[in-house]
């Protein structure tokens, strides 16, 4: 009986760890895309002559940067 209880608790714990790791991986991938890949894609689009495609992304980024306040360092 204790073995069954242990197996159930271990599976519940493993399930929670898997869900947490998926959430962490999704957050990290969003951060990497926003910080590293999005500027590269925009610059590549401008160099390829797709200014009409890149311009809305640049304007949206500028508008967001005007309204978002930087966090103060502790």
**What are 26-40's pLDDT values in tens digits?**
988 888 887 888 888
Task: Please give the pLDDT value at position 16.
Answer: 94
Structure tokens given for 5: 């209880």
- Please report, for the chain, the start and end positions of each structural domain, with discontinuous segments joined by +: 2-67
Task: Please give the pLDDT value at position 68.
Answer: 81
Task: Please give the pLDDT value at position 74.
Answer: 66
Task: Please give the pLDDT value at position 73.
Answer: 65
The whole-chain average pLDDT of the chain stands at 86
Instruction: Spell out, as residue ranges, where the chain has pLDDT lower than 50.
Output: none
Within 10 angstroms of residue 46's Cβ, the number of other Cβ atoms is 14
Cα within 13 Å of Cα(17), Cβ side: 6
CA gap 3, 18 in Å, rounded: 22
CA gap 18, 39 in Å, rounded: 31
């Amino acid at each position: 009986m204790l073995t069954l209880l242990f197996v159930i608790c271990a599976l519940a714990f493993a399930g929670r760890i898997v869900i947490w790791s998926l959430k962490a991986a999704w957050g990290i991938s969003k951060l990497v895309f926003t910080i590293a890949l999005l500027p590269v894609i925009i610059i590549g689009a401008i160099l390829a002559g797709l200014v009409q495609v890149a311009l809305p992304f640049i304007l949206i980024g500028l508008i967001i940067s005007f309204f978002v306040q930087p966090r103060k360092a502790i």
